[in-house]
């Protein structure tokens, strides 16, 4: 049984439709979608130990099946540069999460490498009642959320279609390099779209997938947040 099948069946057994970030990122790895390195800590000391193994700076995030938008819950702390900072971030995140939703089950805190700032893109999939698995591409931040500058294709897509999704969005010139920002690795972004296409075609019970954001570099990409919701 593949790792992805095992993760999805386990969520079903537990009656969960929302996969945890750890689970979604493990699936990404199986589908050759690059993600930040990560370890799930259950207490402050573990978080400090994992941070040392991963290397500073690190990011800490709440892991809870009941908290989908982690930032809204004060559940994301970036750029932590010492074990002391990691320890206090751990308890702060738990405290914030409890204040946000006192009934939320907290699985732990995810320690991950802090990906350098870059152009952020979003790759998503939604299962449309009419068209089935549909892929989405856009640039991060205001482009998708405010300007709705996105491209859609029905899955599965070819590499040419994946590239066309990118050139279609109005913000595309930003990917080609702008003032001081270097051009992004368009081929690596296309690979993320293609691998996402493969994933949602293999698992028709994925209702929603969100890689938001994916950091796009001059060479390569890194997914810093992944969310998968089952039917």
Question: By CB under 6 A, is residue 40 in contact with ligand ADP?
Answer: no
- What is the separation, in whole angstroms, between the first and last Cα of the chain? 21
* Four-residue CA torsion sign, 127, 131, 135, 138: negative
The number of beta carbons lying within 10 Å of the beta carbon of residue 26 is 18
Smallest distance from ligand ADP to CB 108, Å:
15
Smallest distance from ligand ADP to CB 204, Å:
25
Of the listed pieces 47-55, 71-79, 81-89, 180-188, which binds ligand ADP according to CB under 6 A? 71-79
**Single residue of 212, 221, 222, 228 touching Mg ion by CB under 5 A:** 212
Nearer to ligand ADP, 70 or 127 (CB): 70
**Single residue of 8, 47, 59, 139 touching ligand ADP by CB under 6 A:** 59
Cis peptide before 156 (omega within 30 of 0): yes
Question: By CB under 5 A, is residue 120 in contact with Mg ion?
Answer: no
Smallest distance from ligand ADP to CB 218, Å:
17
CA 12-14-18 angle, to 5 degrees, is 65
Question: By CB under 6 A, is residue 163 in contact with ligand ADP?
Answer: no
CA distance readout (Å), 26 to 55, 60, 121, 148: 20, 17, 20, 29
Question: By CB under 6 A, is residue 19 in contact with ligand ADP?
Answer: no
């Amino acid at each position: 049984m593949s790792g992805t099948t095992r993760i999805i069946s386990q969520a079903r057994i537990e009656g969960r439709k929302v996969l945890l970030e750890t689970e979604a990122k493990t699936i990404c790895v199986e589908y050759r979608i690059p993600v930040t390195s990560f370890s799930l800590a259950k207490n402050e000391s573990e978080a400090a130990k994992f941070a040392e193994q991963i290397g500073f700076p690190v990011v800490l995030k709440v892991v809870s099946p009941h908290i989908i938008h982690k930032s809204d819950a004060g559940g994301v702390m970036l750029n932590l540069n010492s074990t002391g900072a990691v320890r206090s971030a751990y308890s702060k995140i738990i405290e914030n999460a409890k204040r946000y939703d006192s009934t939320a089950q907290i699985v732990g805190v995810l320690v991950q490498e802090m990906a350098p700032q870059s152009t952020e893109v979003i790759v998503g999939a939604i299962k449309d009642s009419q068209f089935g698995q549909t892929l989405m591409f856009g640039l991060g931040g205001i482009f998708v959320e405010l300007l709705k500058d996105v491209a859609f294709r029905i899955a599965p897509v070819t590499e040419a279609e994946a590239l066309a999704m990118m050139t279609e969005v109005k913000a595309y010139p930003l990917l080609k390099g702008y003032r001081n920002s270097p051009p992004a690795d368009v081929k690596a972004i296309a690979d993320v779209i293609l691998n996402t296409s493969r994933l949602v075609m293999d698992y028709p019970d994925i209702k929603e997938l969100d890689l938001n954001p994916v950091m796009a570099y001059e060479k390569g990409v890194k997914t810093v947040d992944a969310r998968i919701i089952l039917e």
